[in-house]
Amino acid sequence: MATAAEQQTQLVETSKRLAAFQAVKDYLKPEYTRIGIGSGSTVVYVVEAIAALGPAVTSTMTFYPTGAQSEELIEAAGLRLQYISKLPADQQLDVAFDGADEVDDDLNLIKGGGACLWQEKIVAASARQFVCVADFRKLSSRLGTAWKKGIPIEVLPMAAPRVLGELRRLGSLDPRVRPGLPGKAGACVTDNGLWIVDAPFPPLLLPGDAEAAAAPDSRPAGTWTVDELADRLIKIPGVAEIGLFYGKNGLQVASGAQKPVAAYF
């Protein structure tokens, strides 16, 4: 008899797999040739779903990873790998699939739980369509409600103390440098040789919220809309990229893509 914890794990894994297969069915068209593949445990199911289509569909497709993990997944599934650095400036990916740590009512995302947020944003911004595959645990009305570890921020190690100070000034509740994997001393080092700072904030407002009508400095400390906070975080010297994926970020500006498309279970 499975314990309650085992049953919950099974439910989550089933949900991730169903969401991934549904997303691939709905958003991967046979005529597509360039596909972005994100990072995390949900994306494992995305690659499984793509591989299950067989070479008749996938042999004309090339897959662009967001890091070492997705590179390995693509190769292990026998799919053609290419790096985003090889994508000509005048071309786009047809679609990019990725997971998320949290998704709000406006489809803004927190990403970076797996420390790949910088490459993930570049791949997402290179795609005409961004499909976020998220299970039921990730959905919340306001970012910061379900994912309580904070907004992942990729920083230059020498700037980390100063960045932490700036985050506290912006009202972050106990921002911290993310430690390395269990058993590994020191900080978590990204594929880019940088560190991750996790910065918790009170739940982020959406433009239609009553509190958002007040000027930021007249609200309780640390109370920001997604756009306001993103604008401030990205401007801190030493910050390379932030794990907020939101409506008017690189997804739209760089690629003309619309807001993230989400596939949920």
- Would you tell me which residues interact with ligand 5RP (CB under 6 A)? 38-42, 98-101, 111-117, 120
Indicate the residue among 146 and 205 with the shorter CB distance to ligand 5RP.
146
Please tell me the total number of residues recorded for the chain in this structure: 265
Indicate the residue among 87 and 117 with the shorter CB distance to ligand 5RP.
117
Report DSSP letters for 57-105, one per residue.
Answer: HHTT-EEEESSHHHHHHHHHTTPEE--GGGS-TT--BSEEEE--SEE-T
Other C-beta atoms within 10 Å of 235: how many?
9
Shortest Å distance, C-beta 38 to ligand 5RP: 5
Indicate the residue among 41 and 252 with the shorter CB distance to ligand 5RP.
41
Catalytic residue among 71, 102, 120, 154: 120
Tokens describing residue 89: 């400036």
Closest to 119 in 3D by CA, of 94, 159, 145, 87: 87
Lateral strand order in the sheet of 109-110: 102-103, 109-110, 244-245
Shortest Å distance, C-beta 107 to ligand 5RP: 15
Shortest Å distance, C-beta 89 to ligand 5RP: 25
**HSE of 242, CA atoms in CB hemisphere, 13 A:** 27
154 is catalytic: no
Under a CB-based contact definition with an 8 Å cutoff, are residues 143 and 168 in contact? Answer: no
Location of structure tokens 């993990």: 69
Where helices occur in 129-199 by DSSP H, the ranges are 160-169
Shortest Å distance, C-beta 169 to ligand 5RP: 26
Indicate the residue among 39 and 92 with the shorter CB distance to ligand 5RP.
39
Tokens describing residue 81: 């790998």
The CB-nearest residue to ligand 5RP is 40
Indicate the residue among 117 and 212 with the shorter CB distance to ligand 5RP.
117
Residues forming the active site: 120
